[in-house]
Structure 1
């Protein structure tokens, strides 16, 4: 992103959290302290739907920018199940159930 011209002060790197949910919750807390909630999230394409759903649940206004590349059948199956469960049960509950694997 720096090479693309994004100023360093506009980037926020969150290194805490063992799961996507925990990382986005930490991001939401950090941005709230800065009176902000809009983010661009960069991740694998197969992860984009769940990433956007979690961001919404933790109070972030997110645009998801997928990277280039594909996913294995196992990754796609896992994401499909995680999105379905997250939409029905809530992503926080799914994260608690999956532990640090989510």
Structure 2
């Protein structure tokens, strides 16, 4: 005799196993899609903030104007560095701060540091040497900001207007504030960093990645930041 229907042994049917597998695959796809969406929102939001802060010119009075270094050649600033120094010169002449701090070390084989060449450029423009402090250390943004923070602390001052390229502003400001400085930005509006739409997009993309890396690790993503400038 055949067993009654209700007395059959329990045996999961292939359709149930297939349904479980399909459900798992569906949830896996949803998790992946959610992760991708979060990544897109994070990257897009950070890129927007890089662009937004790049447009800010905050020239309220401060203790110092800080010029982030860039490449120099035998004491002559590169076009990128010169644009930053010219912005610092204008801010000083407007009375934004009583002194300028130039910062940046030197690459192997260089005779001058970025900070020293920046100071020479500004004194040649007529700013008194006594109003310029050269912090001759720092091979990337984070090391430079740490060196500036230490110098300002030794002088008993705490507020700074940071001068760099527009796209570099948010990361520089974030690092400065993390050291305890009161910092805001007034970036240059001239030079190679802002010449073309391509250079602007490249700068935003680079700084978006570098800022996300810093926020994740608290290390600099510069290799070094002066490379090619």
Q: TM-score, normalised by structure 1?
A: 0.78
Hey, what does 1:20 align to over in structure 2?
141
How many angstroms apart in 2 are the aligned matches of 1:8 and 1:45? 20
CA gap of 1:89–1:9, structure 2 versus 1, over 3 A, is same
Hey, what does 1:4 align to over in structure 2?
93
How many angstroms apart in 1 are the aligned matches of 2:94 and 2:200? 32
SS at 2:160 equivalent? strand
Query: Are 2:139 and 1:50 aligned?
Result: no
Instruction: Kindly name which structure, 1 or 2, has the bigger radius of gyration based on alpha carbons.
Output: 2
Hey, what does 2:212 align to over in structure 1?
84
SS at 1:68 equivalent? coil
Gaps of 5+ in 2: 1-88, 104-114, 116-136
CA gap of 1:26–1:84, structure 2 versus 1, over 3 A, is same
How many angstroms apart in 2 are the aligned matches of 1:47 and 1:27? 16
Q: Quote the offset at 1:89 in angstroms.
A: 2.3
Contact 2:141 2:222 (C-alpha < 8 Å) held by counterparts: no
Hey, what does 1:66 align to over in structure 2?
187
Could you say which structure has the greater relative contact order, defined with CA pairs below 8 angstroms and 6 or more residues apart? 1
Q: Quote the offset at 1:6 in angstroms.
A: 4.2
Q: TM-score, normalised by structure 2?
A: 0.38
SS at 2:176 equivalent? helix
Gaps of 5+ in 1: none
Query: Are 2:150 and 1:29 aligned?
Result: yes
CA gap of 1:75–1:99, structure 2 versus 1, over 3 A, is closer
How many angstroms apart in 1 are the aligned matches of 2:223 and 2:209? 16
SS at 2:162 equivalent? strand
